[in-house]
């Protein structure tokens, strides 16, 4: 499988380059960055702190050089890459977060023509947590208060994280709630007693935290916490390469890591 990485100069991009070298049956053939980026023309291996790989960073992507494009950038450049893949009939793995509803609709439309893995978190462990959250919410029902806490590095631009929001969506669906109307994002001042039908979110941004997520189910006399802590971006990069190998053999459709891992 020939893979292109979009956003190779970023922290996740460099981890993806490293993960591609350890991924079986995977050949990194294209390293993509934004127009005029200072990294253009640099060997992507050197950029990632490794030995030279003979692949230069480019800002003029050519779909003839890859089978699957892996994207961890921002919503706008991610959608541009999606258009390239859609036109060329190539598969795509999207790990970017922060899409609005209209942008998500564009992804779904493209997935009717090409295979797309779109997941807010590529970690195997996080996706196992998604499965556990659904089970916990169905068992506990409306007898608990639900709070979601997440922490990331100081450079992360969207909040709450895409992973935290997806956790909220899973819990809300299991409890037959609409997250758009039951979510509470932070609290301040005299707020009164907590409404049990709400799902609370708390966000921390500090230092170099890779990614911590906890979902708290709190009842009277006991509480259950489901937590995932990432200590390295390689957990996401390795999962993304696993998704790339998987999606390269799939028909057009919109998939996520639950599909890749066989957890449905």
Span 10-63, pLDDT tens digits: 999 999 999 999 999 999 999 999 999 999 999 999 999 999 999 999 999 999
The model's pLDDT over 48-96, given as tens digits with 9 standing for 90+, comes to 999 999 999 999 999 999 999 999 999 999 999 999 999 999 999 999 9
User: How far is the C-alpha of 150 from the C-alpha of 72, rounded, in Å?
Assistant: 19
For residue 152, indicate whether it is catalytic: yes
- Closest C-alpha among 32, 115, 34 to residue 67: 115
CB 32 within 8 A of CB 3: no
Residue 31 phi/psi, 5° resolution? -125, 115
Q: For residue 189, count other CB atoms closer than 10 A to its CB.
A: 5
Q: What domains can you pick out in the chain, each with its CATH number? A: 2-118+233-260 (3.40.50.720), 124-230 (3.30.360.10)
**Per-chain mean pLDDT for the chain:** 96
Q: Catalytic one among 152, 166, 213, 228?
A: 152
For residue 156, indicate whether it is catalytic: yes
Considering the entire predicted model, what is its pTM? Answer: 0.82
Q: Is the pLDDT of residue 4 over 90?
A: yes
């Amino acid at each position: 499988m020939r893979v292109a990485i979009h956003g190779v100069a970023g922290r996740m991009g460099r981890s993806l380059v490293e993960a591609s070298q350890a991924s079986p049956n995977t050949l990194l053939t294209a390293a993509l960055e934004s127009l005029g980026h200072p990294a253009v023309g640099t060997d992507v291996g050197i950029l990632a702190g490794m030995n030279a790989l003979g692949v230069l960073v480019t800002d003029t992507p050519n779909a003839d050089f890859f089978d699957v494009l892996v994207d961890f950038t921002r919503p706008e450049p991610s959608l541009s890459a999606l258009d390239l893949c859609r036109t060329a009939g190539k598969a795509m793995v999207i790990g970017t977060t922060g899409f609005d509803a209209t942008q998500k609709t564009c992804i779904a439309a493209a997935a009717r023509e090409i295979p797309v893995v779109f997941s807010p978190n590529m970690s195997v462990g996080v996706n196992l947590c998604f499965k556990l959250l659904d089970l916990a919410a169905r068992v506990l029902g409306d007898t608990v208060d639900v709070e979601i806490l997440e922490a990331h590095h100081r450079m992360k631009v969207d909040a709450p994280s895409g992973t935290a929001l997806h956790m909220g969506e899973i819990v809300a669906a299991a409890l037959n709630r609409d997250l758009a109307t039951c979510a509470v994002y932070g609290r301040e001042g005299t707020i009164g007693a907590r409404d049990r039908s709400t799902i609370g979110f708390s966000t921390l941004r500090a230092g170099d935290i890779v990614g911590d997520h906890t979902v708290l189910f709190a009842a009277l006399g006991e509480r259950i916490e489901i937590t995932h802590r990432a200590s390295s971006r390689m957990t996401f990069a390795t999962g993304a390469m696993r998704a790339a190998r998987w999606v390269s053999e799939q028909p057009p459709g919109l998939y996520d890591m639950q599909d890749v891992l066989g957890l449905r």
